[in-house]
Structure 1
Amino acid sequence: MDQIQKVEQEILELRQKLREKEDELYALKLNYHSSQSAQAHNGDESQITEETTIKQWTLPKWAIERYSRQILLREIGVAGQARICAAKVLIVGAGGLGCPAAMYLAGAGVGEIGIVDYDTVEISNIHRQLLHREIDTDVNKAESAARAIRSINSHIKVTPYKVQLDSTNAIQIASKYDVVLDCTDNAPTRYLLSDLCVLAKLPLISGSALKLEGQLTVYCYRADLHSVDKSSTYRGPCYRCVFSVPPSPDALGSCSQHGVAPPVPGVIGTLQATEALKFIIGHPSRNLLVERMLIMDVDDMSCKVVQLRPRNPMCAICSDTPTITQLIDYEVFCKTQAKEKKRAENRQKSEKRKQEKVKRMTGQSYFGFRSETKGKKTLYIQDVLKAERKIGPICKSDICVKNTKRYCTKFIENDRLKIFQDFWKLDWSEKKIYVRNLINTVPVKRRRNTNLINSRKVDSKKYFLYLNGNRVEVCRVTFLNTLGIKEAMVRSWLHEKEKTKNAKIPVKSISVINFIDGLPKRQSKCQICLDNNIQLSYVNFSVKNQFELYKLYVKFSTSNGVPPASRKTFDKVLVRKNLRIFKAKNEKDVCDLNSQHNISYQNDKLDYYYSNLEQWT
């Protein structure tokens, strides 16, 4: 096991060195290309750089060789590939959608790719976010994705933005790019990107994936800025045109809550890259997903394109008379947070607050533990944290100053500091005893001063401190601040533990059993009851009801010097013994459970006197 850990550590160190060398090589290449570009702009025609060659819609030899398979397509060709190499694409979100989109855009040769993501790689992300590896755990997603893209294509420029995109930095970042890909999974960022692309006049290619379903569409399309439709005034809808009102926070879903199949975001992210390439090479709006949405369900492998609402002429941001002219706070607008982890952290904080409140109410919030080692054993002793051991200010209330019974003002700082230090030198159990001896609880009957005309309720506790060996009464604030403890702690120390109540001993029915066993009994004379296996017996002497039988039992138990059981216990024992007092309605009756078992039933069919037979079966 030690050898395995040693080899793993060596591999990590080598990978770290390799990363540093790769970053160094990437920086050298960037400096070289920038210097070559500067020379070309200065009029040195002998130095023809790749950038100037691409801008002239021609390609260098390495680009033709690398992208030859896509250059063969009639829709792309050399001019289309030159546009791709000169394009700049911003990908917001390096997750399940952003990773495949970035991979294929880098493979196609997009000149510059920007990746925005504040999150870090987790082990649960790697099953669908294939740009990240296990060794990238806890690494920023934008940085991890940028490093992987550079390994795919070293001729392109990749810029990671390790920030959360918000209203303060969105325009500054997006203004450098030509196309924006929305690869996020929350409503605030979607509204932010839509408004951002409207203000910056950029197309927004939006995708989403959840469970086994995926969606894809293009927002904020402007024909006047497109190379093919420049003469047209057509403008596609924005996100607000389709969804003018944000959904409720309860209706939103995420991959961490509802799950997602790994291929689904891979397919949608790949299609996002396809739409971006189609826009870059100059496809018209009819060939793009403008005013249309692709909906895919891999459960039954169905795929359909639905028509969306056209651009709303009264839209708040993309209309001719917009009411929103700048980016707003979208977390407030959507009433939810953009950071999924932040929402989870807030839920955890709220749970911690509830737990902390319970601890404060019980005095446990200010308890800590310190360890002492005795031999091989480590003992944890309950104590207050050092950060909590602070002496507070003395009480300056006018009531304490004018009161003749309290002597808060007589304590100087040195006296209070000495009391504080002596108190914290005591052991935990000694602290409790010390505090209990300094607090007197006033009984309820003495909490009203009857000598005064206007009687008012006085304190339920009296607090004392030692001054020059004497026990001096002070107010509650001075007492707590001088000892440096909290009221909840004092409340828990003064609270007497409830005495364990002895379990109520049930009344023993031995005397009842002995009495019933000694009674003369007879079996039932009803043959139908006997055939139905009803185990029932009757008292075989003259007694009217159970109350008279109970009085006989009381006499029996008192004569033997045994306290009698209750009437309830007596009745329960009778039921468990299946013993009854025969109560016949007629002289010829043999059963008092069911009237149909008797001969007299033929003369009296409406008999409500007898009980039901089922309770005895």
Structure 2
Amino acid sequence: MDRMNHLESEITELRQLLNVKEKELNSLRKELIQQYQTNVIQQTDNQHQQFEMQMNKSLYGDQLPKWAIERYSRQILLSDIGVKGQEKICTAKVLVVGAGGLGCPAAMYLAGAGVGEIGIVDYDTVELTNIHRQILHGECDQNMSKAESAAQSLRSINSRITVTPYSVQLSPTNAIEIISKYDIVLDCTDNVPTRYLLNDACLTTKKPLISGSALKMEGQLTIYGYRAENNPNEKDSAYRSPCYRCVFPTPPAADAVGSCSSNGVCGPVTGIIGSLQALEAIKCIVGHTHEQMLAGRLLLFDGDDSTFGIARLRPRSEQCAVCSDQPTITRLIDYEVFCKAQANEKDLDLNILPSHSRMSALELAQKLSSVKNHDARHLLVDVRNEAEFNMCRIDGAVNRPMDRLQGKKFQELLDEVRDYEQVTFVCRRGNDSQVVAKKVLDVIGEGHVNRVNDLNGGLHAWAKYVDANFPVY
């Protein structure tokens, strides 16, 4: 027993001595490393600067530092990228306009690839309806600036890059200043005025514009304003791809352009197009030629049958108002006036009907509750599409989708209106309901004019003032 206790005591002492010796050894190692580093630094001023850059964030140009080789090794292994390509990626500056369904995946892959500086432009804040497709934002980011939220997420993906958020709406007054700081611009917006603005601003600053769009189950992608003169790998240095105005000289009618908030969009579709935008940006950075990129070609994706197609765009127009040799537009203009449309998706409050033809949500609730059999006396017409109507509706409403109210369908609606003492048109925000009500009032007999109105503020107002459990989307 004594022998056992003695051995245990000796082992304890040896362990303590071992710990002391290990600490001495580690201390000696640190001293030797520091001495070695000091010797290296003192060799020459140039070596000193090089060492400091490698020990800190970056050294690009002649070689990649150890951390960059380790981090980006899987793409450096690609012959299309290699060390030289990665050096270009790490010094590149890319501006992503729109931190939504397209901008989020695009920016995420650019950050992962090591793009040296990424700018994010978005005036909007994060909403719950965004999160199903805008993957840089989470539930905890609601009501936060999208640009700031995206920037935080990108920094968490790659702390080695610079991310600059711009929580502003891009406009003719700030576009040139912002865009001129970057090498490539990604159009990840969803409205026509901003597309024309980006096109003209990128042409002015001679930046390639990688333009994507997604709606419902479909997506498109191309590169506008690409200049071969900036790429030494190009055989034809005179080549220039068409710009947005070459393809669309005049803007489409405002009511012919859909939006995600009105028509819906499948999240993975935006992910596919946004990822491809990042791919085109990387190819452009590393020096692919225009034949290898989507310059002068339009990629079409159909999510319904998961197919891709390519359409060749018309060449750059010699009569283009902006990119021709004799442009007629030489400065940025008011693009909302030019396109007769908004440059954002914020709720637009139309004022088509006079105030006496509009009913508040509380007034409608009182009328519906005071009518025992309002099917016979009060007709509530919901003009949203069938999918929206099936999603949520006011009890007793009938669905007459606005986009079907032509010809025979509209005549049937007029006959229906004449059979009721009161008719109230309803939509999501109180805009489409005014359009339909005005169309009815323009042709209905004078005896029915005072019987037709719409719900002011639409179902959003109903949810706010009458039924807090009614879904807002």
TM over 0.5: yes
Q: Distance between the aligned counterparts of 1:92 and 1:230, measured in 2?
A: 31
Of 161, 167, 172, 2:166 maps to: 161
- SS of match in other structure, 2:159: coil
Of 196, 201, 208, 2:201 maps to: 196
Structure (1 or 2) with the larger CA radius of gyration: 1
Q: Distance between the aligned counterparts of 2:220 and 2:212, measured in 1?
A: 6
- TM-score w.r.t. the length of structure 1 is 0.49
- SS of match in other structure, 1:46: helix
- SS of match in other structure, 1:346: coil
Q: CA deviation at 1:228?
A: 1.7
Q: CA deviation at 1:100?
A: 0.1
Q: Does the 8 Å CA contact 1:90/1:114 hold for their aligned counterparts?
A: yes
Q: Which residue of 1 aligns with 2:154?
A: 149
Q: Distance between the aligned counterparts of 1:145 and 1:255, measured in 2?
A: 20
Q: Is residue 272 from structure 1 mapped to residue 297 from structure 2 by the alignment?
A: no
Q: Which residue of 1 aligns with 2:133?
A: 128
Q: Which residue of 2 aligns with 1:220?
A: 225
Of 45, 49, 59, 1:47 maps to: 49
Q: Distance between the aligned counterparts of 2:58 and 2:161, measured in 1?
A: 15
Q: CA deviation at 1:225?
A: 1.4
Q: Which residue of 1 aligns with 2:64?
A: 59
Of 342, 345, 348, 1:345 maps to: 348
Q: Which residue of 1 aligns with 2:323?
A: 318
**Which residue identity lines up with residue 334 of structure 2 in the other structure?**
D
Q: Distance between the aligned counterparts of 1:269 and 1:260, measured in 2?
A: 13
Q: Does the 8 Å CA contact 1:57/1:83 hold for their aligned counterparts?
A: no
Paired residues, number: 315
Q: CA deviation at 1:231?
A: 6.0
**Which residue identity lines up with residue 138 of structure 2 in the other structure?**
R
Q: Which residue of 2 aligns with 1:260?
A: 265
Q: Does the 8 Å CA contact 1:209/1:268 hold for their aligned counterparts?
A: yes
Instruction: Give the gaps of 5 or more residues in structure 2.
Output: 1-44, 364-473
Q: Distance between the aligned counterparts of 2:48 and 2:168, measured in 1?
A: 41
Alignment RMSD, CA only? 2.2
- SS of match in other structure, 1:215: strand
Q: 1:305 to 1:356 in 2, by over 3 A?
A: same
- SS of match in other structure, 1:82: helix
Residues 180-226 of structure 1 show CA distances to partners (whole Å, capped at 9, x for unaligned) of: 00000000000000111111000000000000000000000001112
With a CA cutoff of 8 Å and minimum separation of 6, indicate the structure with the bigger relative contact order.
2
**Which residue identity lines up with residue 48 of structure 2 in the other structure?**
S
Of 298, 305, 309, 2:310 maps to: 305
Q: CA deviation at 1:330?
A: 0.4
- SS of match in other structure, 1:195: helix
Instruction: Give the gaps of 5 or more residues in structure 1.
Output: 1-42, 365-617
Residues 508-565 of structure 1 show CA distances to partners (whole Å, capped at 9, x for unaligned) of: xxxxxxxxxxxxxxxxxxxxxxxxxxxxxxxxxxxxxxxxxxxxxxxxxxxxxxxxxx
Q: 1:55 to 1:120 in 2, by over 3 A?
A: same
Q: Distance between the aligned counterparts of 1:52 and 1:317, measured in 2?
A: 41
Q: Is residue 246 from structure 1 mapped to residue 247 from structure 2 by the alignment?
A: no
- SS of match in other structure, 2:101: coil
Q: Is residue 295 from structure 1 mapped to residue 297 from structure 2 by the alignment?
A: no
Q: CA deviation at 1:355?
A: 3.9
- SS of match in other structure, 1:345: coil
Q: Distance between the aligned counterparts of 2:358 and 2:229, measured in 1?
A: 63
Q: Which residue of 1 aligns with 2:80?
A: 75
Q: Does the 8 Å CA contact 2:57/2:160 hold for their aligned counterparts?
A: no
- SS of match in other structure, 1:206: strand
Q: After TM superposition, list the pairs within 5 Å mapping 1:76-115 onto structure 2.
A: 76-115=81-120
Residues 370-418 of structure 1 show CA distances to partners (whole Å, capped at 9, x for unaligned) of: xxxxxxxxxxxxxxxxxxxxxxxxxxxxxxxxxxxxxxxxxxxxxxxxx
Q: Does the 8 Å CA contact 1:98/1:183 hold for their aligned counterparts?
A: yes
Q: CA deviation at 1:57?
A: 3.9
Residues 400-441 of structure 1 show CA distances to partners (whole Å, capped at 9, x for unaligned) of: xxxxxxxxxxxxxxxxxxxxxxxxxxxxxxxxxxxxxxxxxx
Q: Does the 8 Å CA contact 1:198/1:318 hold for their aligned counterparts?
A: yes
Q: Distance between the aligned counterparts of 2:150 and 2:240, measured in 1?
A: 33
Q: Distance between the aligned counterparts of 2:122 and 2:180, measured in 1?
A: 17
- SS of match in other structure, 1:214: strand
